[in-house]
A and B are shown apart, each in its own frame.
Chain A
Amino acid sequence: MSATETLLIDLFSEEIPARMQKGAANDLAKSMADALKAEGLSVGAVDVWYAPRHIALRIADIPVSQADRSEERRGPREGAPEQAVAGFLTANGLASLDQAELRETPKGNFYFAVQHIKGQQTLDLLPGLIEKSIRDFTWPKSMRWGRGSFRWVRPLHRIVALFGNSVVPGALDLGNGESIPFGRETEGHRFSGSGAIALSNPATFEDQLREGSVVVNPTERAETILTGARQAAHEVGCVLIEDAGLLSEVTGLVEWPTIVRGQIPDRFMAVPKEVLVLSMKEHQKYFALQQPDGTLAPYFITVADGKREAETFSRIAGGNERVLAARLSDAEFFWNQDRRDALDTRVPALSSIVFHAKLGSVGDRSDRMGPLAAWLSSHITGADRDAARSAARLSKADLTTGMVGEFPELQGVMGAYYATHDGEDAAIAQAISEHYSPLGPNDNCPSAPLSVAVALADKIDALVGFWRIDEKPTGSKDPFALRRAALGVVRLLVENDIRIPLVNAFREAEMLYGGNSDVSADLLGFIADRMKVTLKDRGLRHDWIAAVFEAGASMDDDLVRVTKRVEALRDFVGTDSGTDLLAGYRRAANILRAEAKKAKGALTVGSVDASLFDEPAERALHAALAGSKAGEYLAAEDFGATFGELAKLRAPIDDFFESVMVNADVAAARENRLALLSQFLGSVDSVVRLSALEG
């Protein structure tokens, strides 16, 4: 067991954005450990820490030196020409063949140059490895500073590099003659610490920083914040509204967290709670509290940084209260101002907001969405036609309000508040509020009938419009979030079990744009692609979905039906019948493909002539196809029974291939058999295009 030591690296910089700290610390630790392993040095436990001004890692049990090793190179055969020997000696720095070893090998006797390489001291290797790990690290966004050319997330000031008790002798070159030497000094808290801290050894890192008022362990900081915030909420009889994202962000903003509770003046509690929460969370990084009855409480919790005297905290709370009050008084002003004009009277002003240069104004859009939502409502149980028209017409009106101008994130939500104030139905207000949803795969999907109608109208109008002007998403570019809109259509229909013939819906939307260029087929293909993504999460494979969409003469545009068919297909392919039928189907398809190739594409397959059958298996297959009720069951949407009918074709097709020679000598018999196979394929394809299946 050779001696080992622990490596500690602490990179002390100006404040690193909270969202980047964790990834950076983990990546740097990994890259350092990999670099050591690449040098043949084993590594033990790895610890990682981060805080606003620190990215630190510690790697235990690194051998203090590399193991000695030897390298061998085979040279010329014994008795080889002088020239070859001379070349071998020069290449390996040998004076004569006496310094080489002559060894027997199965191929004869050869000279070998054997070099014994002494393992290097780890401390000598580390400067280069550390420098490279730092230099190769890339931040999501990086910058230069001063006169240097080196890039880091923010200016880097100190690099601690300790191997055991020793400082790793090295430096990071910043360019233009500037550099940061490796050392043992880091820094404590900006305000509560006392300047530079000379670290004694890797083991004392956490404790020494704590003495400098920095809790460098992020988990500990997060726990302190969470426990303290819960306690502070409890003290005023409230409950903390927990928010993991906010907690992690705040953890990255403080080095010595202290909890400060502030109060929200009562008059602001009349402002919609979404406005309060947004102002607190997004703008101020405050936690919100709720009363035991679930309503928003007139308090907030902020996390201050550093050790302070008690009276200082009340001053900090007071300062934060004033900042929040200033923000909220703006919000209160808009809330009072906006309610003076009913949403209905705001609709005309939408004509002055450009939606897209080629697609007109937001006013044009809401003019189209009204009738479209009305049309859609007739397919949605429980959605009133007039209510759908009116909710869709009002859905964008809040864009003209001061509140949405100030807090764009609240579009829709504010519309619902204003609609309620105007005395609109609760269902209409809810539909306005939810009509932008779902905003992606994890967002809540509306289920109220009226909300579904308006949300669908919003998305279908946009999709059809952008398809008409040929602004489709390409590669990673999707500036109008059309993939999200298509996904929304899929989720709204499938999750609510709503059956709408989409092609008709697209045509309806096109008519409202004033013309029928018929983008419906292409758009349905786009929706089908999104559907593959959504249904994958339900365990439905993309090729099953393709097999259903491609079945029959035209694409099925009822996504609920498509889903059920795909589920039935899933159940079918798992059975023996499914596997065998697939094999028969592929064999038939291959034969026809080969024949088509032979005929150079001129293969014409006529209809089957029963009088030409010689073999019982031919007749049996023909009869099975004629007697199949797959089409009827499909039309009746009994998909289990449909696939049951396909399963009945398995035995006849197996027997056919077992006992019938397709490539008969008599041309008429051969052509008739090909026709029969083609009928078989067509029959299957009308239910499911098995050729789309993979694997």
Chain B
Amino acid sequence: MTFQKQKADKATCFQRLVLNLQTYWAEQGCVVLQPYDMEVGAGTFHPATTLRSIGDTIWNAAYVQPSRRPTDGRYGANPNRLQHYYQFQVLMKPSPVNAQALYLGSLEVLGIDLQKHDVRFVEDDWESPTLGAWGLGWEIWCDGMEVSQFTYFQQVGGIDCNPVPLELTYGLERLIMYVQGVDNVYELDWDGIPTEQGGKCYGDVFLQAEQEFSAYNFEHADTEALFQHFKDAEAMSQHLLSQTPPLSLPAYDQTMKASHLFNLLDARGVISVTERQAYIGRVRALAKGCAEAWADSPGGRGEQPQPMSVEV
């Protein structure tokens, strides 16, 4: 795929719009976090969303999360599909009464004039079988394009959410392609600096990675090793959950790891339809265990942790 920056614009470049979103949600009272340092399939997996959805404390957070979907890799040859992309994620618990208005406000800071576009809330029920989670809401359409997911979580890790959190997920590449009027993701203006001055576009940053990771995901990932890693992560997660008190956060790290390993194996096509359900069930069992452990931990109860006794 060849690419070329069409136009450099400091106001609509990728990094500026991400900063705008962060600023906007910070102003709405969110803690702005950095990405979680693990491979995940979606921003929802970040413990700031999953685990913090549980329990009755107020929690408002926003962050960018790189997301990996091994099956969506196209060796950098498709202008719309990526195996690694960015989601911007917002979680507000309890869901604010003006949730929709807050969301629409965030589109405006991205430069989308609501009077000049057709923005629609189209039914979309969300469910994550691996997380034992579901919610109701919409996908948001802007002139016919899905730009965000808007979900009122009802259950996470098999536990009823009470109060109910609002989750917003923006697919940043797609959204910003729309704002910049670019049809090829690799031509996204990243920094607002013209190419001749060393400015970068999306392809400069990511094309090689898309090519190499597609080859890795589809051809080279050692499936036997991946199966073993899955087992190891599952065993470690179970071990951590069996401690007194359980170590919910490290156990959840291992759950995320198992989930991503499952995605890689799925991309390699080595999991049959019937086995697939069994693997999803195993990850869900871990997620439920973590959710229950977290709910019973200081964080889940909304308390400050007590000093931990350390064996030397």
Query: Taking beta carbons and an 8 Å cutoff, which residues of A are in contact with B?
Result: 14-15, 17-19, 52, 141-147, 153-155, 157, 191, 253-254, 260, 284, 286, 302, 304-306, 308, 312, 315-316, 318-320, 322-326, 329-330, 333, 352, 354, 356-357
CA distance A443 to B183 in the complex (A): 39
Q: In this assembly, does B239 line the interface, its C-beta being within 8 Å of a C-beta of chain A?
A: no
Q: In this assembly, does B211 line the interface, its C-beta being within 8 Å of a C-beta of chain A?
A: no
Q: Is the CB of B116 within 8 A of A315?
A: yes
Q: Is the CB of A324 within 8 A of B144?
A: yes
Q: In this assembly, does B78 line the interface, its C-beta being within 8 Å of a C-beta of chain A?
A: yes
List residues of chain B with CB within 8 A of the CB of A354: 272-274
List residues of chain A with CB within 8 A of the CB of B178: 319, 322
CB closest chain-B residue, reference A311? B116
Q: In this assembly, does B138 line the interface, its C-beta being within 8 Å of a C-beta of chain A?
A: yes
Within 8 A of A (CB), among B125-155: 125, 135-138, 142-145, 152, 154
Q: Is the CB of B117 within 8 A of A319?
A: yes
CA distance A322 to B184 in the complex (A): 11
User: In the complex, how many angstroms separate the beta carbon of B185 from the nearest chain A beta carbon?
Assistant: 10
User: In the complex, how many angstroms separate the beta carbon of A239 from the nearest chain B beta carbon?
Assistant: 22
Q: Is the CB of A143 within 8 A of B94?
A: no
Q: List 5 A-B contacts (CB under 8 A).
A: A147-B164, A191-B115, A302-B144, A319-B144, A330-B81
Q: Is the CB of A143 within 8 A of B144?
A: no
- Known contacts A143-B164, A330-B80, A354-B273; is A284 also within 8 Å of B116 by CB? no
Contact of B117 among A19, A143, A145, A316 (CB under 8 A): A316
User: In the complex, how many angstroms separate the beta carbon of A282 from the nearest chain B beta carbon?
Assistant: 13
CA distance A11 to B162 in the complex (A): 24
CB closest chain-A residue, reference B151? A143
List residues of chain B with CB within 8 A of the CB of A315: 116-117, 143
Q: Is the CB of A154 within 8 A of B136?
A: yes
Q: In this assembly, does B114 line the interface, its C-beta being within 8 Å of a C-beta of chain A?
A: yes
List residues of chain B with CB within 8 A of the CB of A14: 100, 121
List residues of chain A with CB within 8 A of the CB of B78: 330, 333
- Scan B227-265; emit 1 where CB is below 8 A from any A CB, else 0: 000000000000000000000000000000000000000
Q: Is the CB of A352 within 8 A of B269?
A: yes
CA distance A191 to B104 in the complex (A): 10
Q: In this assembly, does B299 line the interface, its C-beta being within 8 Å of a C-beta of chain A?
A: no
CB closest chain-A residue, reference B101? A190
Q: Is the CB of A323 within 8 A of B143?
A: yes
List residues of chain A with CB within 8 A of the CB of B138: 15
Contact of A15 among B95, B97, B118, B121 (CB under 8 A): B121
CA distance A543 to B258 in the complex (A): 57
- Known contacts A146-B95, A155-B152; is A304 also within 8 Å of B118 by CB? yes
CB closest chain-B residue, reference A14? B100
List residues of chain A with CB within 8 A of the CB of B99: 155
List residues of chain A with CB within 8 A of the CB of B121: 14-15, 52
Q: Is the CB of A312 within 8 A of B136?
A: no
The 4 A-B pairs of least Cβ separation, nearest first, read A319-B143, A17-B123, A320-B144, A15-B121
CA distance A357 to B145 in the complex (A): 39
User: In the complex, how many angstroms separate the beta carbon of B141 from the nearest chain A beta carbon?
Assistant: 9
CA distance A286 to B143 in the complex (A): 12
Q: Is the CB of B122 within 8 A of A253?
A: yes
A-B contacts counted at CB < 8 A amount to: 106
CA distance A15 to B104 in the complex (A): 14
Query: Taking beta carbons and an 8 Å cutoff, which residues of B are in contact with A?
Result: 78-81, 94-97, 99-100, 114-123, 125, 135-138, 142-145, 152, 154, 162-164, 178, 183, 269, 272-274
- Residue in B116, B135, B183 whose Cβ sees the most chain A Cβ within 10 Å: B116
List residues of chain B with CB within 8 A of the CB of A155: 95, 97, 99, 152
Q: Is the interface of B mostly helix, strand, loop or mixed?
A: loop
User: In the complex, how many angstroms separate the beta carbon of A650 from the nearest chain B beta carbon?
Assistant: 60
User: In the complex, how many angstroms separate the beta carbon of B95 from the nearest chain A beta carbon?
Assistant: 5
CA distance A293 to B116 in the complex (A): 36
User: In the complex, how many angstroms separate the beta carbon of B2 from the nearest chain A beta carbon?
Assistant: 16
Q: Is the CB of A308 within 8 A of B144?
A: no
Q: Is the CB of B143 within 8 A of A320?
A: yes
- Residue in B120, B138, B162, B273 whose Cβ sees the most chain A Cβ within 10 Å: B120
- Residue in B94, B118, B163 whose Cβ sees the most chain A Cβ within 10 Å: B118
Since A146-B163, A315-B117, A320-B145 are in contact, a sample of 10 more A-B pairs with Cβ atoms closer than 8 Å, ordered by chain A residue number, is A17-B123, A18-B123, A141-B125, A154-B152, A191-B114, A302-B144, A312-B115, A330-B78, A354-B272, A354-B273
Q: Is the CB of B123 within 8 A of A143?
A: no
Q: Is the CB of B144 within 8 A of A323?
A: yes
Q: Is the interface of A mostly helix, strand, loop or mixed?
A: mixed
List residues of chain B with CB within 8 A of the CB of A318: 143
CA distance A265 to B119 in the complex (A): 24
Q: Is the CB of B274 within 8 A of A357?
A: yes
Q: Is the CB of A326 within 8 A of B116?
A: no
CB closest chain-A residue, reference B144? A320
List residues of chain A with CB within 8 A of the CB of B144: 284, 286, 302, 319-320, 323-324
- Residue in B121, B122, B178, B273 whose Cβ sees the most chain A Cβ within 10 Å: B121
Q: Is the CB of A305 within 8 A of B145?
A: no
User: In the complex, how many angstroms separate the beta carbon of A16 from the nearest chain B beta carbon?
Assistant: 8
List residues of chain B with CB within 8 A of the CB of A154: 136-137, 152
Q: Is the CB of B164 within 8 A of A146?
A: yes
User: In the complex, how many angstroms separate the beta carbon of A245 from the nearest chain B beta carbon?
Assistant: 15
CA distance A681 to B138 in the complex (A): 66
Q: Is the CB of B125 within 8 A of A145?
A: no
User: In the complex, how many angstroms separate the beta carbon of A651 from the nearest chain B beta carbon?
Assistant: 65
Q: Is the CB of B80 within 8 A of A141?
A: no
User: In the complex, how many angstroms separate the beta carbon of B206 from the nearest chain A beta carbon?
Assistant: 18
- Residue in B78, B144, B162, B273 whose Cβ sees the most chain A Cβ within 10 Å: B144
User: In the complex, how many angstroms separate the beta carbon of A168 from the nearest chain B beta carbon?
Assistant: 23
User: In the complex, how many angstroms separate the beta carbon of A474 from the nearest chain B beta carbon?
Assistant: 20
CB closest chain-B residue, reference A146? B94
List residues of chain B with CB within 8 A of the CB of A325: 183
User: In the complex, how many angstroms separate the beta carbon of A304 from the nearest chain B beta carbon?
Assistant: 4
Q: Is the CB of B118 within 8 A of A306?
A: yes
User: In the complex, how many angstroms separate the beta carbon of B164 from the nearest chain A beta carbon?
Assistant: 5
Q: Is the CB of B274 within 8 A of A145?
A: no
User: In the complex, how many angstroms separate the beta carbon of B11 from the nearest chain A beta carbon?
Assistant: 18
CA distance A333 to B144 in the complex (A): 21
List residues of chain B with CB within 8 A of the CB of A312: 115-117
List residues of chain A with CB within 8 A of the CB of B135: 143
CA distance A254 to B121 in the complex (A): 10
List residues of chain B with CB within 8 A of the CB of A145: 94-95, 152, 164
User: In the complex, how many angstroms separate the beta carbon of A631 from the nearest chain B beta carbon?
Assistant: 52
List residues of chain A with CB within 8 A of the CB of B96: 146
CA distance A147 to B274 in the complex (A): 39
CA distance A5 to B78 in the complex (A): 64
User: In the complex, how many angstroms separate the beta carbon of B77 from the nearest chain A beta carbon?
Assistant: 9
Contact of A316 among B79, B80, B118 (CB under 8 A): B118
Q: Is the CB of A143 within 8 A of B143?
A: no
List residues of chain B with CB within 8 A of the CB of A18: 123
CB closest chain-A residue, reference B146? A323
User: In the complex, how many angstroms separate the beta carbon of B171 from the nearest chain A beta carbon?
Assistant: 13
CA distance A302 to B164 in the complex (A): 34
- Residue in B81, B136, B138, B154 whose Cβ sees the most chain A Cβ within 10 Å: B136
CA distance A144 to B95 in the complex (A): 10
Q: Is the CB of A144 within 8 A of B115?
A: no
CA distance A304 to B118 in the complex (A): 6
List residues of chain B with CB within 8 A of the CB of A191: 114-115, 119
List residues of chain A with CB within 8 A of the CB of B115: 191, 308, 312
List residues of chain B with CB within 8 A of the CB of A260: 118
CB closest chain-A residue, reference B166? A145
User: In the complex, how many angstroms separate the beta carbon of B127 from the nearest chain A beta carbon?
Assistant: 11
CB closest chain-B residue, reference A284? B144
CA distance A326 to B123 in the complex (A): 22
Q: Is the CB of B94 within 8 A of A305?
A: no
CA distance A319 to B141 in the complex (A): 11
Q: Is the CB of B120 within 8 A of A305?
A: yes
- Residue in A145, A322, A326 whose Cβ sees the most chain B Cβ within 10 Å: A145
CA distance A248 to B138 in the complex (A): 19
Q: Is the CB of B183 within 8 A of A143?
A: no
CA distance A318 to B118 in the complex (A): 11
